[in-house]
Amino acid sequence: MAILITGGAGYIGSHTCIELLNAGYEIICLDNFSNSKSASLNRVAAITGKSFKWYEVDLLDRQGLEKVFIDNEIEAVIHFAGLKAVGESVASPLHYYHNNITGTLILCEMMEKYDVKKLVFSSSATVYGMPDSVPISEDFPMHTTNPYGRTKIMIEEILQDLYVSDISWGICLLRYFNPIGAHESGIIGEDPNGTPNNLMPYITSVASGKRKELQVYGCDYPTADGTGVRDYIHVVDLANGHVKALEKVMSSTGVDAYNLGTGKGNSVLEIIATFEEVTGKRIPYTFAARRPGDVAECYSDPSKAKEELGWVAKRGIKEMCRDAWNWQEKNPDGYKGKDNNNFKNRHLP
């Protein structure tokens, strides 16, 4: 019996594959590689010394997906596959709705057909939109400002409806706060296409000399130093949250949402200062206008995940900065680098 990981080659998926393999699970990955490279899967196998099957399949390809369910005995699914760039979702809403929502519908139909009713879904703190207060707990109202966020809200609602129609489903909706960092080996990490949108990949690109300076979006927020505050979470802690959520869905039915965050907020200037301290690299920056749609402060109340999943984030922002830089320094061109061949097809069936 295996766990199917959709979007397993991506940033969070690849880190989760490692934790699942280390915990003794058999995994099968599926990805269309629209925002990732198969090299990440080869590296997961190299890090863990364990082999696993993977398929290059698009969730929208019903026949291709069905073959995965026919070929394998799947007992649960962790569903990462989706498009995630907020700005792109505003420019191409139909593409986002089709990929994320239709992809999830086809996946759930296939799960129903093959009687696989255990699902862990990647949601996001974006479902809380502009919260009235912080810390944010799971019972805060859901509203969002962009099509990407709406795909997450709609999918959460679809999954709630699915459970109402058939109470034998076990579903966890994991609302991630701001994942950063990388596996401590520096062998896998975040590899965004083009100019990074998010803070940490932008900082590492400045540290490596690829970009001259960081623009800090907004210095007049009602926060301690005027810059935006977020709940940054180490991607390995986040990956471990999936192992706990998987245990929960395997042993119970129901649909539950969980915040995966540290419960602590850090400002942009605090992240820059910590990165400089840990790495010895200087990050030149200038202040720019606020980025449209950004909130001043967003951090979680993660107590429900602690109480019900037995999960807490263990790593702090020093480890997050250290590991993000370790990955960037060892892989200046991400998975496109020439050292990729060192990992090619190792341990794969």
216 lines the binding site for ligand UFG (CB under 6 A)? yes
Choose among 15, 11, 45, 10: nearest CA to 31. Answer: 10
Pick 157 or 277: Cβ nearer ligand NAD: 157
Q: Which does 291 bind (CB under 5 to 8 A by kind): ligand UFG, ligand NAD, none?
A: ligand UFG
Biggest CA pair distance of the chain:
56
Contact characters 161-200, ligand UFG, x per CB under 6 A: ---------------xxx------------------xxx-
Choose among 173, 160, 150, 174: nearest CA to 261. Answer: 174
Q: Is the peptide bond before 349 cis (omega within 30 degrees of 0)?
A: no
Pick 26 or 88: Cβ nearer ligand NAD: 88
Query: 278-317 burial by CB neighbour count: b if 16+ within 10 A, else e?
Result: bbebebebeeeeeeeeebbbbbbbbebbeeebebebebeb
The active-site residue out of 11, 96, 128, 148 is: 148
Q: Which does 48 bind (CB under 5 to 8 A by kind): ligand UFG, ligand NAD, none?
A: none
* Smallest separation (angstroms) from ligand NAD to the CB of 11: 4
**Helices (H) then strands (E): counts for the chain:** 12, 14
Choose among 232, 229, 259, 266: nearest CA to 245. Answer: 259
Pick 287 or 319: Cβ nearer ligand NAD: 319
Pick 181 or 218: Cβ nearer ligand NAD: 181
Instruction: Give dist(CA 215, CA 96) in Å, integer.
Output: 27
88 lines the binding site for ligand UFG (CB under 6 A)? no
305 lines the binding site for ligand UFG (CB under 6 A)? no
* Smallest separation (angstroms) from ligand NAD to the CB of 199: 10
232 catalytic per annotation: no
Instruction: Give dist(CA 346, CA 349) in Å, integer.
Output: 9
Instruction: Give dist(CA 240, CA 112) in Å, integer.
Output: 27
Active site residues: 148
Binding site for ligand UFG (CB under 6 A): 84, 86, 124-126, 176-178, 197-199, 202, 214-217, 228, 230, 268, 291, 294
